[in-house]
Structure formats: C-alpha cells, structure tokens
Structure 1
C-alpha cells in the first residue's frame, strides 16, 4: 500500500517509516510533485492535521495522512501549542523557539508539559483521527544532540534523559508521534 505523508520534514518521515510495516510505503509531498507550503491556519493541532490531509487529497487525489504536533506547557496556559514551530517567529528556528521557551519559564517552578500529535488519515473517502500524547517536563537547559524541535529541553515522564538524548528508536517507541502512528498502523492492519 502507498500512502502520501503530507510532509517534507525528513526527520518526521524517517521516524514514521521506521514505525510502519514494510507493506506500507510512504510517499512524501516531494514524491508526488507537491512543492506548495500547505497552509496551517487552524487554531488547533487537530485542525492543522485535517487541513494538510484535505489539501493533498483534494488537489492530488491520493489517500494520505498528515500530522500536526505541538508542545503544550502547563505554566504557559498550553503555549506554544499550535504555534510550536513558529513560537519565536516565522523563521521556524528550533534554537530560537527553545530559547524563547526557556526564557518564558525562567521564574516558573511548574515545568510540566506534554507533546501532542494528531494524525488525520484520508483513506478511501473517509477521514480518521489518531492522537498521541506524552507527558513530561521542560528542563532548564538544552541537553542532547538527537531529534529536532524541542527535543533537547523535554524529558518524558519516567525518564532521566531528554528526547534529544534518546536514540531515534527509543524515542519513536514512546513519543507522541510514535503513539499516534501506532494507532494509525493498528487501524491500517
């Protein structure tokens, strides 16, 4: 089975392909000739996943899935949330985003946070949503060189290491994206 994953993020594509069975081949937006920057104008993570999946299905006619993820920090009323990728501006710079987050949490004792991923699957004319959430906390400084996004400042519950200190296999097994993809895979089976 071929499914388009509405992303050009090579890190995400690699993470998701690792979690899928060999019978499912992932095509990226580049693979189908889509070079558009798909608008993410919804005010929820779910809404953005739906927008991206619908864009590919409507414009290109493929069965496809799209995800949107966000970091929700309790002391910041759920921010950065849907704006996680561009928290520090439209340049979508991971270091700038982490610096802004660490600055916003500087005087806060509550550092509880969660990562949330929603996957929207458009398959044979029907739409399905899958949600993965992992709880954890934001540490005070960046640690680790693996992963992307906020991985160097997020320690998942029950762990002593940040996402950026885990291998891609370790992270995929427990991450918000991994949990949502597992639901997707179970559904496709």
Structure 2
C-alpha cells in the first residue's frame, strides 16, 4: 500500500487530511512517526511555493510521497498581512496565542475593530516518481477583536466566515468547517487529483 506522509507538525491539520484521504488505498503517516527532522526552509513568495518546498523536502527526508500545505490569513486592513507569515506572525517561535495577540495589536494600530479577511490554503503532493500536484482553496469572512469558540486552531476564534454570520470558525462543527474552509476546498480538489493518479 502506498504511503503518504502529511508533511506538517500541526496535529490538527494531520487529522483533517487523514479523514479526507481515508477512502483512498493509501497509508497516511504523520511526520511524528519518523522522529525529528529539521524544518524546511520556507523561502517562497507564495503559499504554493512554500507548500512545494515542504513537500519536496520531506519527500527526500522520508523516502515517501508527501502532501504539504501552506496556509494563512490575509487581512485587508493590514495590506494582506500576515499572509505567508501567518504561522510566524509574532516571531519565529510564535504560537497561536502570541500570533493572535499580534493580530489584535495590528488591528488596534490600524484603528479598526474588524476587517475583511480571507483564509488561503495551497496543497502540494510530491510523489516518489517526481509527480507534483497542486490545489488551492479560499474562505472569505472578517476578523473581529472578540474571540469566540473552542473548536478551531490558529486564528479561528477571531475569523467570522461569510457563510456563518455571527459565528467564528472556532464555533462551527468540523463538518461545517470542512464544507467552507480553505483547507477543505483545497483538499477536495487534491483528493480528486489523487483518485485519478492512484488508479
């Protein structure tokens, strides 16, 4: 059975992707199962470039096909920031809490309590035969200063998706999130490509 490594250290993303790939004839592994690897140097200028860097880097390290994502939030009033720097918005060792605090600081500096924003996700599958597949997804909404909900991770408690007015990404169910989220859309597109590739 073909092994596919989900090239992320974020266990929330691993769970989402494992569920999406469950019907395929593959064994889905996480990076954790390979011990410690250095981080890939994400020096691309777009989400897709960074996802490809990670997918190819961990394919070489593990000897397995890899799927990597790069995703983030783009806030209109901040000129699209944090964008590709979303995971490190508050610095190299940032976590969700410090990144969210930095987001709030930047909104205060801009003199606003909310702003249009969108979540973006790029996925890249790098196979051992050199095949590369890419997919992208986007979810529009607003960021607001008041966090709500416990279900999400990252910026979810501050992101109010357009499809669920008055609720944050951290308040909706996993099924609802999968239907509208940037990663859910990118994953569905990727799964279609993998179904064809794995025939």
**What secondary structure sits across from 1:41 in the alignment?**
coil
**Structure 2, unaligned runs of 5 or more:** none
**What secondary structure sits across from 1:116 in the alignment?**
strand
Aligned to 1:89: 91
Q: Partners of 1:44 and 1:185 in 2: how far apart? A: 22
Q: Partners of 2:181 and 2:27 in 1: how far apart? A: 21
**What secondary structure sits across from 1:120 in the alignment?**
strand
CA-based RMSD of the aligned residues comes to: 1.6
Aligned length: 189
Asked if residue 171 in structure 1 is aligned to residue 177 in structure 2, the reply is yes
Contact 1:73–1:111 at 8 Å: present in 2 too? Answer: yes
Q: 1:51-130 alignment to 2 at 5 Å? A: 51-106=53-108, 107-108=111-112, 111-123=115-127, 124-130=129-135
Q: Partners of 2:48 and 2:55 in 1: how far apart? A: 11
Shift of 1:65: 1.1
**Which of the numbers 145, 157, 164 marks the counterpart of 1:159?**
164
Could you list the per-position Cα deviations for residues 66-96 of structure 1 after superposition, in whole angstroms to 9, with x for gaps in the alignment?
A: 0010101111111000110111112222122
**What secondary structure sits across from 1:40 in the alignment?**
coil
Contact 1:74–1:110 at 8 Å: present in 2 too? Answer: no
Contact 1:45–1:117 at 8 Å: present in 2 too? Answer: yes
Return 149-158 or 21-30, whichever deviates more: 21-30
Aligned to 1:40: 42
Contact 2:124–2:134 at 8 Å: present in 1 too? Answer: yes
**What secondary structure sits across from 1:128 in the alignment?**
strand
Return 23-32 or 47-56, whichever deviates more: 23-32
**What secondary structure sits across from 1:111 in the alignment?**
strand
Shift of 1:109: 6.6
Aligned to 1:148: 153
